[in-house]
């Protein structure tokens, strides 16, 4: 048994008339993960970097147009280096009514670097976002969805509104005192469509019709269970034509359901903190015991 071995939690209470929430989130990685993984090496091959640069060049605009057509305000997680490389990006998103939030500086994995370094990158990203948008106190999503208890504390110390990297519940909760808006591998486009012809690829790109069916099934499940349907897509992956068509079909399906609360992640976090659910799903992050 660990220090927080509760197995019975109450149901999550959504605003009146709503049985679940839907957030469309986009991790705007562009070329940043490739550059981080290749750090210290000379890069001569153009394949993957060009494929990823399709994201900011074309993919993002296509997703933004789709969102605009359906009046969807999305949550966009942007590494500092991407905002720095494409300075028009954050102002464009804010202008469109979307949320912009942090996603590392170089798309670094939190647990793989020194804690002081992780903190320095967060501060640097916050300063850059403030210069480019005038905004402070934004949300955060960790690159590759990896996190440490220590970094959850760092986020709070630096005024971060919420984190969205973990999946300990399927609705909003608090971990180490910070609001957590859970993600889900099942509804992450990278799992199905990420393909760069490299050793990291697990399979060839999936048939979007099958993925659409799976995602609708998960959405309907979240309606039944009263959870958060947090879709995660990427500029360079879901900006491709057939995936835009798939997303349109998904959006049209969800739009037919009046009991859905469409929200940006920051709206959801602000609401959660003042709702009856606040502190009902509070867990510590430090009770990791391997028993051997
Ligand atoms: Zn990412």
Considering the domain boundaries, does residue 195 fall inside one? yes
Q: Are 161 and 138 in contact (CB under 8 A)?
A: yes
Considering the domain boundaries, does residue 139 fall inside one? yes
Considering the domain boundaries, does residue 221 fall inside one? yes
- Separation between Cα atoms, residue 178 and residue 283, nearest integer Å: 10
Residue 96 has pLDDT above 80, yes or no: yes
pLDDT in tens, 8-35: 999 999 999 999 999 999 999 999 999 9
Q: How many domains does the chain have?
A: 1
Considering the domain boundaries, does residue 56 fall inside one? yes
- Separation between Cα atoms, residue 70 and residue 73, nearest integer Å: 9
Q: Using CA atoms of 124, 60, 67, 275 in order, give the dihedral in degrees to the nearest 10.
A: -20
User: How large is the average pLDDT for residues 98-114?
Assistant: 96
pLDDT in tens, 156-201: 999 999 999 999 999 999 999 999 999 999 999 999 999 999 888 8
42 CB burial (10 A radius; 0-12, 13-18, 19+): exposed
pLDDT of amino acid 24? 98
CATH number at residue 34: 3.20.20.370
- Separation between Cα atoms, residue 264 and residue 103, nearest integer Å: 16
Q: 3-class SS at 99?
A: strand
pLDDT of amino acid 66? 98
Q: Are 75 and 25 in contact (CB under 8 A)?
A: yes
The Å distance, Cα 248 to ligand 1 centre, comes to 23
pLDDT category of residue 5 using cuts at 50, 70 and 90: confident
The Å distance, Cα 51 to ligand 1 centre, comes to 15
The Å distance, Cα 144 to ligand 1 centre, comes to 6
- Separation between Cα atoms, residue 62 and residue 56, nearest integer Å: 10
The Å distance, Cα 125 to ligand 1 centre, comes to 15
Residue 285 has pLDDT above 70, yes or no: yes
pLDDT of amino acid 201? 84
Proportion of the chain above pLDDT 70, given as a percent: 97
Considering the domain boundaries, does residue 10 fall inside one? no
Please report where in the chains the tokens 């500086």 appear, as a residue. Answer: 105
| 260: containing domain | 20-283
Residue 1 has pLDDT above 80, yes or no: no
pLDDT of amino acid 289? 63
The Å distance, Cα 115 to ligand 1 centre, comes to 19
The Å distance, Cα 29 to ligand 1 centre, comes to 5
The Å distance, Cα 220 to ligand 1 centre, comes to 26
Considering the domain boundaries, does residue 11 fall inside one? no
- Give the predicted TM-score (pTM) of the model: 0.97
The Å distance, Cα 44 to ligand 1 centre, comes to 23
Buried b (16+ CB within 10 A) or exposed e, 73-110: bbbbbbbbbbbbebeebbebbbeeebbbbbbbbbbbbb
Considering the domain boundaries, does residue 2 fall inside one? no
The Å distance, Cα 19 to ligand 1 centre, comes to 29
Considering the domain boundaries, does residue 288 fall inside one? no
Give the count of beta carbons closer than 10 Å to the beta carbon of residue 189: 23
């Amino acid at each position: 048994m660990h220090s927080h071995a509760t197995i019975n939690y109450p149901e999550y209470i959504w605003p009146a008339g709503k049985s679940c929430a839907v957030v469309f989130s986009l991790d705007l990685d562009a070329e940043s993960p490739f550059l981080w993984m290749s750090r210290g090496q000379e890069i001569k091959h153009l394949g993957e970097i060009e494929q990823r640069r399709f994201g900011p060049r074309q993919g993002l605009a296509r997703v933004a147009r789709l969102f605009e057509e359906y009046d969807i305000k999305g949550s966009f997680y942007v590494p500092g280096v991407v905002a720095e490389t494409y300075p028009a990006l954050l102002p464009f998103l804010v202008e469109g009514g979307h949320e912009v939030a942090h996603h590392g500086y170089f798309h670094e994995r939190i647990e793989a670097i020194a804690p002081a370094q992780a903190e320095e990158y967060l501060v640097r990203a916050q300063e850059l976002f403030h210069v480019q948008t005038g905004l402070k106190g934004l949300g955060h999503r960790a690159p590759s969805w990896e996190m440490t208890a220590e970094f959850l504390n760092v986020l709070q110390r630096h005024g971060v509104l919420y984190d969205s990297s973990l999946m300990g519940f399927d609705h909003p909760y608090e971990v180490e005192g910070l609001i957590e808006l859970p993600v889900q591998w099942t509804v992450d486009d990278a799992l199905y469509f990420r393909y760069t012809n490299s050793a990291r690829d697990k399979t060839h790109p999936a048939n979007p019709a099958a993925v659409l069916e799976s995602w609708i099934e998960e959405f309907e499940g979240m309606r039944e269970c009263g959870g958060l349907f947090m879709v995660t897509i990427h500029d360079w992956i879901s900006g491709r034509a057939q995936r835009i068509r798939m997303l349109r079909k998904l959006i049209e399906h969800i739009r037919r359901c009046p009991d859905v609360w469409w929200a940006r992640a920051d709206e959801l976090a602000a609401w959660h903190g003042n709702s009856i659910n606040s502190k009902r799903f509070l867990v510590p992050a430090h009770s990791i015991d391997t028993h051997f």
